[in-house]
Structure 1
Amino acid sequence: MQVKINNLDFHVEVCGEGFPLLLLHGFTGDSSTWTPFCPIWGKHSRLIIPDIIGHGKTASPDEIKYYQMESVASDLIRLLDLLEIDQIDLLGYSMGGRLALTLAILYPERVRKLILESASPGLKTDEERMQRRMKDGELANFINEQGIKSFVDHWEAIPLFSTMGTLPSPVKKSIREQRLSNNTRGLANSLLGMGTGSQPSWWEKLFLLHCEVLLLTGDKDEKFCKIAEKMLQKMKKASWIVINQSGHAIHVEQKEKFGTIVSDFLSIKN
């Protein structure tokens, strides 16, 4: 369905029954990231699956202010209000994980349980954030100048996704086609507004989380395993699971394990 939020059109998929579960995809993804899990999670949860701004069928405005992490989190709260949902379980992957963490920190009363797949609280220092903003700016220029196909070729080749090379050809083809369905303005502006260098650092706010948190990383994703280990030390009610034979995109590389772990975590009574 299409809904109007903050004068922007948002595309949202809904399936399943039970306690609401808001699902947030990663950069270059869309709501189809999570639709394969509807038959599994839909048995115990009502899945709310938006295309994040700049992605899929949701609007891709020119103004960067709409893409800022706090603004996007606020729009998601407006979506929940529109759907008359007071509290949610929340799962985010990579960029969607950073957005999920932002929402949980800014609106703690709205989140019952939080699942972060291959996600981080951002960068700790101003210098790190400045350097990352420069790199994201260069990448945004690349998207605008070279077009979506050249960018997707580049994106698929970065080391972070090297483990996805062993996926079956039909799966890789489907992921590529979905990435290509995005538009240059939306992806470029997402980098500028929601990039790791542009968002606030939440490292010193992690202790504020009172909801139960599950951190998920793939054993081949060394960078995000190290981040998860540090996050675990700063959160009160967090646990961490490392999934074997997986890299960054666990939900694709180990779909069955991922689905079961999420179901088990959400089904446990507080």
Structure 2
Amino acid sequence: MASYATAEPQFIEVNGTRFAYLRFGSAANNTVPLVFLQHFRGTFDHWDPQLIDPISTTREVILLDNSGVGKTNGTVPGTYAEWADNVAQVVKALGISQIDLLGFSMGGFAAQMAALNYPTLIRKLILAGTGPSAGEGIEGGDPAAFGRLAAASNDKEEHGGFLEAFYSLTPTKQTLGDKWWKRMTTARSNRSDYVGLEGTKAQIDAVLRWSNREHASEGSYDRLHEIKVPVLVANGDNDILIPTVNSWVMFKRLTNADAHLHLYPDVGHGFLNEYAGQFSSLVNQFLDDRA
């Protein structure tokens, strides 16, 4: 059976865009695949194998590059509703009637919109290190940390930017970050680079719209009560990119969902890498729960 390291990219054309994805894992006991949506500038080559592989041993997984990202051509959409449209159309083109969906960080913005705009497509939803669109109680992240991620243009800058933004700055935590970086950057061959300058600008523009109440109708904050599927909200207790309080606000606004909130101690945005073993187990437990 293929693993994250050995899965070969596959492609499917939808509405003129050639979408790239990885599809692997075991579908023996779980017929609903889990689709993963990645963070700012990241591609399907930027996941942690220690997170992905324990999940793929129990279910089929699909790691998708949205338009303008990684090995997918086209341009980055201007709204997360459009990102969600792409996800739904790719899933439909693959002949899949229902999915579980995990969105990390910016991928979590798109995952919320997929659950809102395609409610019959999503069986269960996992929102990791993310938050709702603009609204009361929502806090902005550290602009300096976000700026370093946006401006990073070589391996050294990317390494420094992501470790500073995803991990606490203590020597112990930065050492854990180094271990994650090595796992992530050596897991796969022929890896895509982080999203380039033009795509990064488009992603930033989408974030600015998401974070502006003038565009509330395009976002999730006022609609979270519409989600009625089980939802797992997870984060570190000290996320500086998408502040942890936003996960709490999102959890409280999921009033009609069977919502769960899990915060990991002494960790930030990179909790799903630092606690990869624990979080992968939690994901499997949440998805397997028939209650």
**TM-score (normalizing by structure 1):** 0.81
CA RMSD of aligned residues (A): 3.3
| Aligned CA distance change for structure 1 residues 111 and 86 (closer, same or farther; 3 Å) | same
Alignment check: 8 A CA contact 1:25 1:96 kept: yes
Aligned counterpart in structure 1 of residue 96 of structure 2, from 55, 66, 85: 85
Aligned counterpart in structure 2 of residue 209 of structure 1, from 227, 233, 246: 227
For the pair 1:219 / 2:225, whether they are aligned, the reply is: no
The residue that corresponds to 1:232 in the other structure is 251
The residue that corresponds to 2:59 in the other structure is 45
| Aligned CA distance change for structure 1 residues 248 and 77 (closer, same or farther; 3 Å) | same
Alignment check: 8 A CA contact 1:217 1:224 kept: no
| Aligned CA distance change for structure 1 residues 193 and 230 (closer, same or farther; 3 Å) | closer
Cα deviation, residue 159, structure 1: 4.9
Aligned counterpart in structure 2 of residue 152 of structure 1, from 151, 158, 172: 158
**Distance in 1 separating the partners of 2:163 and 2:23:** 32
**Distance in 1 separating the partners of 2:67 and 2:161:** 19
- Counterpart of 1:111, as a letter, is I
SS of alignment partner, residue 113 of structure 1: strand
**Distance in 1 separating the partners of 2:192 and 2:280:** 22
The residue that corresponds to 1:197 in the other structure is 211
Q: What CA deviation, in whole Å up to 9, does each residue of 1:205-227 have, x standing for no partner? A: 11111000111011232763311
Alignment check: 8 A CA contact 2:52 2:280 kept: no
**Distance in 2 separating the partners of 1:59 and 1:2:** 11
| Aligned CA distance change for structure 1 residues 9 and 179 (closer, same or farther; 3 Å) | closer
**Distance in 2 separating the partners of 1:241 and 1:23:** 19
**Distance in 2 separating the partners of 1:60 and 1:148:** 23
Alignment check: 8 A CA contact 2:71 2:192 kept: no
Q: What CA deviation, in whole Å up to 9, does each residue of 1:21-65 have, x standing for no partner? A: 11111112111316544432223321111112332212253xx6x
**Distance in 1 separating the partners of 2:251 and 2:194:** 36
The residue that corresponds to 2:279 in the other structure is 258
**Distance in 2 separating the partners of 1:179 and 1:245:** 31
The structure 1 segments of at least 4 consecutive aligned residues displaced by more than 6 Å after TM superposition are: 176-179
The residue that corresponds to 1:185 in the other structure is 198
Alignment check: 8 A CA contact 1:31 1:56 kept: yes
Aligned counterpart in structure 2 of residue 110 of structure 1, from 97, 115, 121: 121
The residue that corresponds to 1:68 in the other structure is 79
| Aligned CA distance change for structure 1 residues 36 and 52 (closer, same or farther; 3 Å) | farther
| Aligned CA distance change for structure 1 residues 6 and 67 (closer, same or farther; 3 Å) | farther
Alignment check: 8 A CA contact 1:60 1:185 kept: no
Alignment check: 8 A CA contact 1:54 1:185 kept: no
The percent of aligned pairs where both chains have the same amino acid is: 22
**TM-score (normalizing by structure 2):** 0.76
**Distance in 2 separating the partners of 1:263 and 1:256:** 11
| Aligned CA distance change for structure 1 residues 156 and 20 (closer, same or farther; 3 Å) | closer
SS of alignment partner, residue 33 of structure 2: strand
For the pair 1:94 / 2:105, whether they are aligned, the reply is: yes
**Distance in 2 separating the partners of 1:77 and 1:34:** 24
**Distance in 2 separating the partners of 1:112 and 1:228:** 21
Alignment check: 8 A CA contact 2:66 2:87 kept: no
**Distance in 1 separating the partners of 2:60 and 2:185:** 28
| Aligned CA distance change for structure 1 residues 81 and 249 (closer, same or farther; 3 Å) | same
SS of alignment partner, residue 48 of structure 1: strand
The residue that corresponds to 1:31 in the other structure is 44
The residue that corresponds to 2:6 in the other structure is none
Cα deviation, residue 256, structure 1: 0.5
SS of alignment partner, residue 167 of structure 1: helix
SS of alignment partner, residue 243 of structure 2: helix
**Distance in 1 separating the partners of 2:228 and 2:288:** 18
| Aligned CA distance change for structure 1 residues 74 and 60 (closer, same or farther; 3 Å) | same
Cα deviation, residue 193, structure 1: 3.0
SS of alignment partner, residue 31 of structure 1: coil
- Identify, as 1 or 2, the structure richer in helix: 1
Aligned residue pairs total 258
**Distance in 2 separating the partners of 1:228 and 1:39:** 26
Cα deviation, residue 252, structure 1: 1.0
